């Protein structure tokens, strides 16, 4: 139940100047009270304990902000640069995030507008004609205009808290846009690496098919000459068909990567097939500077967004607590009417009214307290979500650092193993041609080399992907300049 009361216009026995003075004093008192008392907790930046260094690497130098903002350019691949640029311009998820930022900005304006007064104006014009049997009748005109003003003084700060909540939502939306940008860039580069890795593996498999085809033909001719057995020919045929069986799955992986890139660029699947000619896997970065954990928390948009949501929810708790207290309203109107348009404001009649009102909760079956409890629980959830975002960010970087180190070590070992396998195959072929070993050793050497070449191609892609994940983990892919551009685009 809400109780309300209003002060009606003062009787005519009181002079106009007295009424004006009294209302002015009332208004001054309300203005003095307004803003002096803001209920609810004031937001304070959360203090989170973070390690001084990474456990995987110890202390490392801070990243260069310019390099981190456009980290993919280190691969020096013009095709990749073009794909990222097109994705940033046309990706649908990024466009949706920009629209959400636009919505949040409008909601902040709406919440801020509630703090100020409103003024409306209206006007009308009418003409009437009266007639009688004894005369031709008379015509009269009436013109009127009205001005209405209203204001709700924010005595207990509920509207202010609402504006603070909208400001926090706007900040969270801006950070979510940045997070979408970070994820998009990483996904484009990851899929590009998958595409080039698939192409490399497909080339290795095709070369293996060609080599085994030559081996099979040679074995068949030697069998016809009676130099080798039927078993050697059958084994050569088995190896050839086994190599051919690897091709369809690799072609599928290449096509899927092409289609995924097309969708990320806001295009239909298949549109990039003719545009993306084969190229090497992007060269891995020699060294990466990731800074300290505190640097990551400052750079990660998802952590920054969680902090802004916490600020917004803190304000919403205060907004809910303000509902416990009375609300006040002030309104006034001025009406002018005259028989001619020229007489408005001069000889016409004037109607004035001033009204002050108050509304206070008396009994509501506990709905206000329940809403306060809801907002307090949501505040606790926002606080826990922020802490979880911090831990997730630290986990992502630690895991990425380990992945980069291990992928690099495996890649180095595979390079050495592949070189040794290639040398072993040459020796086996030479010994077989000299009659010093059987054909099975040649096939085993071919099989080993194929496996290692395929693993090396995969390892090259895995190392590049691990570095990409590390750049994403530290929040790379955005800068204040990019954010300003996204903000203008969202306007």
pLDDT in tens, 332-385: 998 888 877 676 666 668 788 888 889 999 988 999 999 999 999 999 999 999
pLDDT at residue 35 tops 70: no
Cα–Cα distances in angstroms (integers) from residue 486 to residues 63, 169, 175, 457, in the given order: 23, 17, 11, 37
* Direct distance between the N- and C-terminal alpha carbons of the chain, in angstroms, rounded to an integer: 42
Q: What is the mean pLDDT of residues 210-215?
A: 85
pLDDT in tens, 432-474: 888 888 777 888 888 899 889 999 999 999 999 999 999 999 9
CB 282 within 8 A of CB 77: yes
* Three-class secondary structure of residue 286 per DSSP: coil
* Three-class secondary structure of residue 15 per DSSP: coil
Distance CA 141, CA 127 (A): 4
pLDDT at residue 36 tops 70: no
Task: Tell me the pLDDT of the chain averaged across its residues.
Answer: 86
Lowest mean pLDDT among 25-34, 72-81, 174-183: 25-34
pLDDT, residue 457, reads 94
What residue has token string 């190229």? 279
Kindly state which CATH superfamily the domain 8-117+156-324+367-490 is placed in: Outer membrane efflux proteins (OEP) (1.20.1600.10)
CB 211 within 8 A of CB 448: no
pLDDT in tens, 13-23: 344 556 556 65
Distance of CA 238 to the CA centre of its chain: 51
Distance CA 204, CA 453 (A): 7
pLDDT at residue 106 tops 80: yes
CB 132 within 8 A of CB 164: no
pLDDT, residue 436, reads 85
Q: Which structure tokens are listed for 466?
A: 């691990």
Residue spans per domain, the chain:
8-117+156-324+367-490
Q: Where are the alpha helices (DSSP H) in 347-476?
A: 367-433, 439-473
Cβ neighbours for 115, distance < 8 A, ≥ 6 positions apart:
154, 159, 160, 163
Q: Which structure tokens are listed for 407?
A: 């992928």
* Phi, psi for 412 (deg, rounded to 5): -60, -45
pLDDT, residue 383, reads 97
pLDDT, residue 4, reads 47
CB 268 within 8 A of CB 244: no
Percent of the chain exceeding pLDDT 90 equals 52
pLDDT, residue 311, reads 97
Distance of CA 327 to the CA centre of its chain: 38
């Amino acid at each position: 139940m809400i109780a309300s009361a209003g002060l009606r216009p003062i009787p005519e026995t009181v002079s106009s100047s007295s009424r004006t003075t009294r209302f002015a004093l009332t208004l001054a008192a309300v203005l003095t009270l307004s803003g002096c008392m803001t209920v609810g907790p004031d937001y304070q930046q959360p203090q989170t304990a973070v390690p001084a260094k990474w456990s995987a690497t110890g202390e490392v130098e801070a990243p260069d902000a310019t390099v981190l903002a456009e980290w993919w350019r280190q691969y020096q691949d013009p095709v990749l640069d073009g794909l990222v640029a097109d994705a940033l311009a046309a990706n649908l998820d990024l466009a949706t995030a920009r629209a959400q930022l636009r919505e949040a900005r409008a909601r902040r304006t709406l919440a801020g507008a509630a703090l100020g007064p409103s003024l409306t104006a209206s006007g009308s014009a009418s003409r009437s004609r009266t007639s009688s049997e004894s005369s031709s009748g008379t015509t009269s005109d009436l013109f009127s205009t009205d001005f209405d003003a209203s204001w709700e003084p924010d005595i207990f700060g509920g509207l202010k808290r609402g504006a603070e909540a909208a400001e926090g939502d706007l900040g969270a939306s801006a950070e979510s846009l940045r997070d979408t940008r970070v994820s998009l860039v990483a996904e484009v580069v990851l899929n590009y690496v998958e595409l080039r890795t698939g192409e490399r593996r497909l080339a290795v498999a095709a070369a293996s098919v060609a080599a085994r085809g030559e081996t099979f033909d040679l074995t068949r001719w030697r069998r016809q000459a009676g130099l080798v057995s039927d078993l050697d020919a059958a084994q050569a045929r088995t190896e050839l068909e086994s190599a051919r069986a690897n091709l369809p799955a690799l072609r599928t992986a290449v096509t899927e990567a092409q289609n995924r890139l097309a969708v990320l660029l806001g295009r239909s699947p298949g549109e990039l097939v003719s545009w993306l000619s084969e190229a090497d896997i992007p060269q891995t970065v020699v060294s990466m500077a990731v800074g300290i954990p505190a640097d990551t928390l400052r750079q990660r948009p998802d952590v920054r967004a969680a902090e802004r949501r916490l600020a917004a929810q803190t304000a919403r708790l205060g907004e809910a607590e303000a509902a416990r207290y009375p609300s006040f309203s002030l309104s006034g109107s001025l009406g002018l009417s005259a028989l001619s348009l020229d007489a408005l404001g001069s000889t016409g009649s004037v109607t004035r009214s001033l009204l002050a009102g108050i509304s206070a909760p008396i009994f509501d079956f506990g709905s206000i307290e329940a809403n306060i409890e809801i907002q307090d629980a949501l505040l606790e959830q926002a606080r826990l979500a922020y802490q979880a975002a911090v831990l997730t960010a630290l986990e992502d970087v630690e895991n990425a650092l380990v992945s980069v180190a291990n992928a690099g070590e495996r890649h180095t070992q595979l390079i050495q193993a592949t070189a040794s396998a290639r040398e072993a195959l040459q020796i086996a072929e030479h010994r077989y041609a000299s009659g010093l070993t059987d054909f099975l050793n040649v096939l085993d050497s071919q099989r080993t080399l194929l496996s290692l070449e395929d693993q090396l191609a995969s390892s090259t892609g895995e190392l590049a992907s691990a570095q990409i994940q590390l750049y994403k983990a530290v929040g790379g892919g955005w800068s204040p300049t990019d954010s300003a551009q996204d903000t203008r685009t969202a306007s």
